[in-house]
Chains A and B, each alone.
Chain A
Amino acid sequence: MADISSNFLGIKSPNPFWLASAPPTDKKINVLRAYEAGWGGVVWKTLGSQVKNVSSRYSAVDYHGSRVMGFNNIELISDRPLDINLKEITEVVKLFPDRAMIVSLMADNNRTAWHELIKKCEDAGAMGFELNFGCPHGMTERGMGAAVGQDPEIAKMVVEWVMEKATIPVITKLTPNVHSVVPTGRAAVEGGTNALSLINTIQSVTGIDLATLVPNPYVAGKSVFGGYCGPAVKPIALKMLSTIAQDDLTSKVPVSGIGGISTWKDAVEFMLLGASNVQVCTAAMKHGFRIVEDMCEGMNNWMDEKGFKTLDDFIGKSVEKITHWEDLDINYHHIAKINQDKCIHCGLCYIACEDTSHQSINIQQGNPYNTYTIKEEECVGCNLCQLVCPVEECITMEEHRVAPDYINWKMWQEKGLPLNDH
Chain B
Amino acid sequence: MISNNRLTQEQYEQNFADIHPPFETDDAALVEANRCLFCYDAPCTKLCPTSINIPKFIKQITTENIKGSAHTIFQSNIMGAGCSKVCPVEKLCEGACVYNNMNETPIHIAKLQRYSTEIAMKNNWQLFERKSSTGKKVAIVGAGPAGLSCAHVLSREGIDVTIYEKESKGGGLMTYGIAAYKVTPEFCEDEVNYILGIGGIEIKYNQELGKNISLEELQINFDAVYLAIGVGLANKLNIPGEDLEGVEDAIEFIYHLRDKGYSAIPVGDKVAVIGMGMTAIDAATQAKRLGAKEVTMVYRRTENEKNCTQHELDIARLDGCATLWLASPKEIIGENGKVKSLICDVMKLGEPDAKGKPSPIPTGETITLEVDMIIKATGQNPYESLVSASHIKNNRGKIEITNQSTNIKGVFAGGDCVNGGKEVVDAVQAGKEGAASILMYLQIKN
Partners in one complex: yes
| CB proximity of B364 to chain A, nearest CB, Å | 43
Of the four ranges (under 10, 10 to 19, 20 to 34, 35 or more), the interface on chain B belongs to 10 to 19
Docked CA distance A368–B91 (Å): 12
In the complex, which residues of chain B have a beta carbon less than 8 angstroms from the beta carbon of A39?
A: none
Stretch binding the partner chain, chosen from B34-42, B228-236, B300-308: B34-42
Stretch binding the partner chain, chosen from A156-164, A292-300, A347-355: A347-355
Closest to B33 in A: A65
| CB proximity of B117 to chain A, nearest CB, Å | 22
In the complex, which residues of chain A have a beta carbon less than 8 angstroms from the beta carbon of B46?
A: 367-368
Docked CA distance A365–B40 (Å): 12
B34 touches A346 (CB 8 A): no
A346 touches B62 (CB 8 A): no
B98 touches A344 (CB 8 A): yes
B101 touches A345 (CB 8 A): yes
| CB proximity of B396 to chain A, nearest CB, Å | 30
Whether A178 is near chain B, meaning CB under 8 Å from some CB there, is: no
Closest to A64 in B: B34
In the complex, which residues of chain A have a beta carbon less than 8 angstroms from the beta carbon of B62?
A: 64-65
Docked CA distance A350–B37 (Å): 14
B98 touches A345 (CB 8 A): yes
B40 touches A350 (CB 8 A): yes
Docked CA distance A346–B99 (Å): 9
| CB proximity of A342 to chain B, nearest CB, Å | 9
B96 touches A368 (CB 8 A): yes
- Considering only residues 19-40 of chain B, those with a C-beta below 8 Å from chain A are 30-31, 34, 37-40
Docked CA distance A365–B62 (Å): 28
| CB proximity of B357 to chain A, nearest CB, Å | 22
Known contacts A344-B98, A345-B98, A390-B37; A369/B31 CB under 8 A: no
Docked CA distance A344–B102 (Å): 7
Whether B43 is near chain A, meaning CB under 8 Å from some CB there, is: yes
A346 touches B30 (CB 8 A): no
Docked CA distance A346–B35 (Å): 13
Whether B196 is near chain A, meaning CB under 8 Å from some CB there, is: no
Docked CA distance A343–B37 (Å): 14
Whether A113 is near chain B, meaning CB under 8 Å from some CB there, is: no
Known contacts A65-B34, A368-B46, A391-B102; A363/B39 CB under 8 A: no
In the complex, which residues of chain A have a beta carbon less than 8 angstroms from the beta carbon of B40?
A: 346-348, 350-351
Whether A53 is near chain B, meaning CB under 8 Å from some CB there, is: no
- Considering only residues 41-85 of chain A, those with a C-beta below 8 Å from chain B are 64-65
Known contacts A345-B98, A346-B98, A391-B102; A368/B43 CB under 8 A: yes
Contact with B along A237-262 (1 / 0, CB 8 A): 00000000000000000000000000
- On chain A, the number of residues with a Cβ less than 8 Å from chain B's Cβ atoms is 18
In the complex, which residues of chain B have a beta carbon less than 8 angstroms from the beta carbon of A370?
A: 41
Whether B47 is near chain A, meaning CB under 8 Å from some CB there, is: yes
| CB proximity of B28 to chain A, nearest CB, Å | 11
The DSSP consensus for interface residues of chain B is: helix
Q: Among the listed B34, B38, B101, which residue makes an inter-chain contact with A348, where contact means beta carbons less than 8 Å apart?
A: B38
A65 touches B30 (CB 8 A): yes
| CB proximity of A348 to chain B, nearest CB, Å | 6
In the complex, which residues of chain B have a beta carbon less than 8 angstroms from the beta carbon of A351?
A: 40-41
Contact with A along B97-128 (1 / 0, CB 8 A): 01101100000000000000000000000000
In the complex, which residues of chain B have a beta carbon less than 8 angstroms from the beta carbon of A64?
A: 34, 62
B34 touches A347 (CB 8 A): no
In the complex, which residues of chain B have a beta carbon less than 8 angstroms from the beta carbon of A390?
A: 37
Most chain B CB within 10 A, of A343, A346, A347, A350, is at: A346
A347 touches B31 (CB 8 A): no
- Considering only residues 218-234 of chain B, those with a C-beta below 8 Å from chain A are none
Contact with B along A384-401 (1 / 0, CB 8 A): 000000110000000000
Docked CA distance A22–B160 (Å): 68
Q: Among the listed B30, B39, B96, B101, which residue makes an inter-chain contact with A347, where contact means beta carbons less than 8 Å apart?
A: B39
Closest to B43 in A: A368
Closest to A389 in B: B37
- Considering only residues 317-376 of chain A, those with a C-beta below 8 Å from chain B are 343-348, 350-351, 363, 365, 367-370
Docked CA distance A334–B47 (Å): 36
A348 touches B96 (CB 8 A): no
A347 touches B41 (CB 8 A): yes
Closest to B27 in A: A65
Docked CA distance A370–B98 (Å): 11
Contact with A along B46-73 (1 / 0, CB 8 A): 1100000000000000100000000000
In the complex, which residues of chain A have a beta carbon less than 8 angstroms from the beta carbon of B39?
A: 345-348
Contact with B along A99-116 (1 / 0, CB 8 A): 000000000000000000
Closest to B34 in A: A65
A348 touches B41 (CB 8 A): no
In the complex, which residues of chain A have a beta carbon less than 8 angstroms from the beta carbon of B102?
A: 344, 391
Closest to B35 in A: A65
In the complex, which residues of chain A have a beta carbon less than 8 angstroms from the beta carbon of B31?
A: 65
In the complex, which residues of chain A have a beta carbon less than 8 angstroms from the beta carbon of B101?
A: 343-345, 369
Docked CA distance A351–B38 (Å): 11
Closest to A65 in B: B34
Docked CA distance A335–B101 (Å): 25
A345 touches B30 (CB 8 A): no
B43 touches A345 (CB 8 A): yes
Docked CA distance A367–B37 (Å): 19
Docked CA distance A344–B41 (Å): 13
In the complex, which residues of chain A have a beta carbon less than 8 angstroms from the beta carbon of B37?
A: 346, 348, 390
| CB proximity of B103 to chain A, nearest CB, Å | 10
Closest to B45 in A: A368
A369 touches B34 (CB 8 A): no
Q: List 27 A-B contacts (CB under 8 A).
A: A65-B30, A65-B31, A65-B62, A343-B101, A344-B99, A344-B101, A345-B39, A345-B43, A345-B98, A346-B37, A346-B39, A346-B40, A346-B98, A347-B39, A347-B41, A347-B42, A348-B40, A350-B41, A351-B40, A363-B41, A365-B41, A367-B46, A368-B43, A368-B46, A369-B43, A369-B96, A370-B41
Q: Which 5 A-B pairs have the closest CB atoms?
A: A347-B40, A65-B34, A368-B43, A351-B40, A344-B101
What 8 new A-B contacts, CB under 8 Å, besides A65-B31, A347-B42?
Answer: A65-B62, A344-B98, A344-B99, A344-B101, A350-B41, A365-B41, A368-B43, A369-B43
